Amino acid sequence: MTFNELKISEPILRAITEKGYSQPTPIQEKSIPVLLQGKDLLGCAQTGTGKTAAFAIPIIQQLLEDETRNKNHRKIKALIVTPTRELAIQIQENFREYSKYTDLRNTVIFGGVKQGKQTASLRQGVDILVATPGRLLDLIGQGFITLKHIEYFVLDEADQMLDMGFIHDIKKIIAKLPPKRQSLFFSATMPKSIVELSGKILGNPYKVTVKPEQATAEKVEQAVYFVAKADKPKLLEYLIIEKEADSTLVFSRTKHGADKIVRKLAKAKITAEAIHGNKSQNQRQRALSNFKSGKTKVLIATDIAARGIDVSELSLVVNYDLPNVPETYVHRIGRTGRAKASGVALSFCDIEERPYLRDIEKLIRQKVPVVNNHLYIDDRKESEYVKPEKKPQNHNRRKKTPGNKGNKNVWRRNKPKNKPKQS
Ligand code: AMP
């Protein structure tokens, strides 16, 4: 199937051809014709499948063909709500690129930054708005935005939205939408809470499920290194140098772990940056653009922070820690091998993580090849391994607070022995 056969209009076709899209991805093939007929859509798909274009192209096309367009010129007619700033920016960039040969205008709003630039852009009038929920409600409250002209509504990454506690915001936004509209709802997973939420938004939707999991796992060259926990930093250093990858995304299970990896690499004179939930929006954005532009070649990320990051031509993914949820592995390695490209994903597996590896292999229905000849190999058998006992916790210790360093005597020691005399 070609984009021509999908009846994409000329200005959009020209823009996507310039972007190098020669063929629609499966989700585009399934969704675009349905959306062009004005139907609601429930998409079980995640970033990496080409889903942004799957909704952006038909929205742009319908806006162009809309006869009432002149009446609502530069009023917000399409709204895309997405959980994070990174995703919002990415989606808006896609809209901008796909609509570059049209006169449609779009902008993006998100929290964590001053609102001045965003409200200035809104004042000029836009047709398409990409937003995170909090800032959207905030600017609606201040009177900068009205949703009464919305004809197209997209709720993106719904499961992540609920994970991040946005459910009340979402309900408030839905309540402000005109009833007559086309609605699209995307989620990587479909637990009961998500299905319920989708019922509140969608009429009788067309359902599309795209499972990038197996497909992605097959495209990516994978390998696992059995290594002791203590040797992981050295192995990472070695691989970064040996593989000479232009861009390496390293996954760490914890935020603290991510920072620690950055420090260890710095000692080996390898520049890396970390993105995770404890970093400010600005720090995250800076780290991400440095990585995208190639200024930083190594980015360390936690799963939540990395979800949805779209870095084209990401050459290497390293699972510094194996995730205990096997689906997470597939999401991670899907960061490389995007759309048509193929990539390499290397995983470090310490002896305690071997059960996680078995779960992953079950899910992807393939064995991950083991690298048997590396410098830091840990060839112990699981049966020989005895988990070290944890040191007993001393529950009598006082909790650390800024004024209390956890030592009972601090207060007494810091107290002045003699009260200064009043004169
Ligand atoms: P998304 O799932 O929307 O984040 O898209 C993932 C990546 O695939 C992005 O880098 C898109 O630019 C790219 N992409 C989307 N559609 C196509 C296509 N039809 N052909 C090639 N690349 C595409």
Q: How many independent structural domains does the chain possess?
A: 2
Q: Categorize the per-residue pLDDT at 247 as very low, low, confident or very high, splitting at 50, 70 and 90.
A: confident
Per-residue model confidence as pLDDT tens digits over 30-63: 999 999 999 999 998 877 788 999 999 999 999 9
In a domain, 400, yes or no: no
**Residues 184 and 219 grouped into a single domain:** no
Domain boundary, last residue among 194, 210, 226 = 210
**Is a pLDDT exceeding 70 seen at residue 397?**
no
pLDDT, residue 88, reads 94
Return the percentage of the chain with pLDDT > 90, whole number.
57
How many angstroms does the Cα of residue 175 sit away from the middle of ligand 1? 32
Q: Which helix (H) or strand (E) holds 81?
A: strand 78-81
Q: What does the pLDDT look like over 77-102, one tens digit per residue?
A: 999 999 988 899 999 999 999 999 99
Residues 64 and 99: their CA atoms lie apart, in Å, by 10
What would the mean pLDDT of 351-360 be, rounded to a whole number?
A: 94
C-alpha 284 to ligand 1 mean position (Å) = 23
Identify the residue whose C-alpha is closest to ligand 1 atom 6.
Answer: 48
Structural domain ending residue among the three candidates 179, 210, 241: 210
Distance between Cα 89 and ligand 1 center (Å) = 15
Is 80 exceeded by the pLDDT of residue 414?
Answer: no
Same domain, 171 and 283: no
Residues 168 and 279 in one domain: no
160 with 185, same domain: the answer is yes
Ligand 1 pocket residues where CB is under 6 Å: 21, 23-25, 28, 47-53, 310, 312, 338-340
The answer to whether residue 199 is domain-embedded is yes
Sequence-separated (6 or more) residues with CB below 8 Å from residue 219:
337, 342, 343
Q: Are residues 148 and 13 in the same domain?
A: yes
Confidence of residue 326 (pLDDT cuts 50, 70, 90): confident
User: Which residue of 49, 52, 313 sits with most ligand 1 atoms within 8 Å of its CB, as the best mutation to test the pocket?
Assistant: 52
- Domain containing 342: what range? 213-382
Question: Which atom of ligand 1 is the closest one to the Cα of 19?
Answer: 12
- Confidence (pLDDT) at 188: 82
Distance 24 CA to ligand 1 centre (A): 9
* Residue 357 domain flag: yes
Say yes or no: 146 and 221 in one domain: no
- Quote the pLDDT of residue 115: 97
Residue 130, number of CB atoms within 10 A of its CB: 29
pTM of the model: 0.65
Q: Indicate whether 202 and 334 sit together in one domain.
A: no
Ligand 1 centre to CA of 46 (Å) is 11
**Amino acid 310: pLDDT:** 67
**pLDDT tens profile 126-185:** 999 999 999 999 999 999 999 999 999 999 999 888 878 899 999 999 999 999 999 999
Q: Which of 50, 47, 43, 59 is nearest to 23 (CA)?
A: 50
Q: How many angstroms is it from 394 CA to the middle of ligand 1?
A: 53
pLDDT score recorded for residue 238: 94
> How far is residue 313 from each of residues 117, 142, 250, 294, measured CA to CA in Å?
31, 41, 15, 11
Which atom in ligand 1 lies closest to the alpha carbon of residue 52?
3
Protein residue closest via CA to atom 14 of ligand 1: 50
pLDDT classification of 226: cutoffs 50, 70, 90: very high
Q: Is 406 among the domain residues?
A: no
For ligand 1, the distance from its centroid to the CA atom of residue 169, given in whole angstroms, is 29
Choose which residue among 4, 23, 25 to substitute to test ligand 1 binding: the one with the highest number of ligand atoms within 8 A of its C-beta: 25
- Report the atom number in ligand 1 closest to the C-alpha of 24: 19
**Position 388 in a domain:** no
Residues 201 and 244 in one domain: no
**pLDDT of 307:** 66
> Are 164 and 255 contained in the same domain?
no
On whether residue 405 sits in a domain, the answer given is no
- The verdict on 171 and 252 lying in the same domain is no
Distance (angstroms) between ligand 1 centre and the Cα of 189 equals 20
Q: Which residue has the higher pLDDT, 94 or 334?
A: 94
- CATH number for the domain spanning 347: value is 3.40.50.300
Residue at which a domain ends, from 189, 210, 231: 210
Banded model confidence at residue 76, pLDDT cuts 50, 70, 90? very high
pLDDT band at 422; cut points 50, 70, 90: very low
Q: Are 87 and 288 in contact (CB under 8 A)?
A: no
Q: Which residues contact 131 (CB under 8 A, 6 or more apart)?
A: 79, 80, 81, 82, 88, 108, 109, 110
**DSSP code of 382?**
G
User: Is residue 191 domain-shared with residue 293, that is, in the same domain?
Assistant: no
* Ligand 1 atom with minimal separation from the 21 CA: 20
User: Which of 338, 340, 342 for mutating ligand 1's site (highest number of atoms within 8 Å of CB)?
Assistant: 338
Distance 54 CA to ligand 1 centre (A): 9
348 shares a domain with 247: yes
Structure confidence by residue, pLDDT tens digits, 191-214: 788 888 999 899 889 999 876 544
Q: What is the mean pLDDT of residues 355-383?
A: 90
User: Virtual CA dihedral for 294, 299, 304, 307, nearest 10 degrees?
Assistant: 30
Q: How confident is the model at residue 342 (pLDDT cuts 50, 70, 90)?
A: low
Indicate whether 269 pLDDT > 80.
Answer: yes
Cα radius of gyration (the chain): 25
Scan for tokens 């398409």, then name that residue: 128
Cα of 55 vs centre of ligand 1, distance in Å, is: 12
The percent helix, strand, coil of the chain (3-state, each to 5) is 40, 15, 45
The reply to whether 248 falls in a domain is yes
- The mean of the pLDDT values for the chain is 86
Q: What percent of the chain has pLDDT over 70?
A: 86
Residue 422 lies in a domain: no
